[in-house]
Chains A and B, each alone.
Chain A
Amino acid sequence: MKTFDYVRPATIADAIAAAAEPGAAYLAAGTNLLDLMKGGITHPNRLVDVTRLPALDRIEHLPDGGIRIGALVRNADLAHDPISPGPIPRLPRRFCPAPRRSFAMPRPSAAICCSGRDVDISTTPPAPATNARRARVAMPAAARTDCTPCSAGATPASHPSVGFLRAACRPRRRRGDRGQNRPARGCGRGPSLPARRHASARKRPRAGVT
């Protein structure tokens, strides 16, 4: 593993500033990042440890029916959170992108690298034929902890969603659906492959470890 500079900023603004340098990466739990670094797949010059940033570990219900998931909410917490009775019944399962064998590391659901992008995906309601219980939630690409830091200079003031991602309902893709009813991809690539595999392989709520 290549050596790197390690910084632990105390505020979101400091974190964004520290990560503006080329080759910097945010470090939350590090499960993905460290694995990639050990494999020589990614080699950041600087790690910006965001684990101590305040107020990013909350799950909030918004007045418009959305759910705001703080960047430091751990997947295990999200999976166990009773947000499911609401409009997005399967949300916890959709945020279990890790292969099942890797559950032991609770990892943040997103890094604050969401900051420069508009991750507030459209809150398009499910298609008429799709009832609420079938609604699925897209996992934005921005939720990946290994995405590159934002260089757009976003600040908490200019982007209220800095540090957060908002998920939206989208219609379930039915089995055998060849694309005609396929929902438009929300933000980037949609659910990760393990999440998709997971969703199709399991029919009952999982135990909730990630």
Chain B
Amino acid sequence: MAFPISLTVNGVRRDVELGDPRVTLLDLLRERLHLTGTKKGCDRGQCGACTVLIDGRRINSCLALAVSHDGADILTIEGVARGDQLHPVQAAFIAHDGFQCGFCTPGQIMSAIGLMQEGQAGDDPERIREGMSGNLCRCAAYSGITDAVLDVQKSLVVTDRRRSA
């Protein structure tokens, strides 16, 4: 039995026919749509390397059935930069050495973007660490990751204050 689904991935509509309902969103992105920026780490929802945004929410794509997300708007790491201009979070990760091997980085960046959109963390490092605690880094670059997210958050807070002033 075939399951035709339609997704918007990084702003582009993609129609896919799934031959099997067991296909996870992660496998669909990597194997069918060849968007290999999203990484398969543990494949069990524990490491966060596969984090993508679905309708603005961060989720572990390894534990999401593709067929269940028919019609969803998905943002992956491939869709965050504008051409050669990096997303502020990407730039901050580079500036603060927020990675070593880089395998967890796409998930970390997507998670950081999701965290900021949720608007719950503010510029409190402890809350940022809590909010990013679903993304593991085997290289233990947490210090740089927190600094990077904090940096972007602070600039956002400053921008918000200027707007409201």
Contact = CB atoms under 8 A, between A and B. Distances in A.
Contact of B120 (A29, A39, A80): A80
Name the residue in B45, B46, B127 with the highest tally of chain A Cβ atoms < 10 Å from its Cβ: B45
Given A6-B67, A35-B44, A38-B44, A104 B59 contact: yes
A148 interface: no
A6 B121 contact: no
A8 B131 CA distance: 32
Nearest to B67: A6
B7 interface: no
A105 B63 contact: yes
Contact of A3 (B22, B60, B131): B22
Contact of B134 (A8, A49, A100): A100
A3 B65 CA distance: 13
A206 B44 CA distance: 24
Contacts of B107: 104
A43 to B, nearest CB: 11
Interface in A44-62: 47, 49, 51
A106 B136 CA distance: 17
Contacts of B111: 104
Contacts of A206: 130
B56 to A, nearest CB: 11
Interface in B54-70: 57-60, 63-65, 67-68
Given A30-B63, A30-B64, A34-B24, A104 B134 contact: yes
A25 B40 CA distance: 26
Interface in A95-118: 100-106
Given A76-B118, A105-B45, A34 B136 contact: no
Nearest to B127: A207
B62 to A, nearest CB: 8
B130 A207 contact: yes
3 closest cross-chain pairs (CB), A and B: A104-B134, A103-B134, A6-B21
Given A3-B21, A47-B21, A47-B65, 8 more contacts: A6-B3, A34-B24, A100-B130, A101-B136, A102-B45, A103-B131, A103-B133, A105-B60
Interface of B: 3, 20-22, 24, 43-48, 51, 57-60, 63-65, 67-68, 107, 111, 114-115, 118, 120-121, 127, 130-131, 133-136
24 contacts: A1-B22, A6-B21, A6-B67, A29-B63, A30-B65, A31-B63, A34-B45, A34-B65, A35-B45, A51-B68, A74-B57, A76-B57, A101-B134, A102-B45, A104-B48, A104-B51, A104-B111, A105-B59, A106-B57, A106-B58, A207-B127, A208-B120, A209-B120, A209-B130
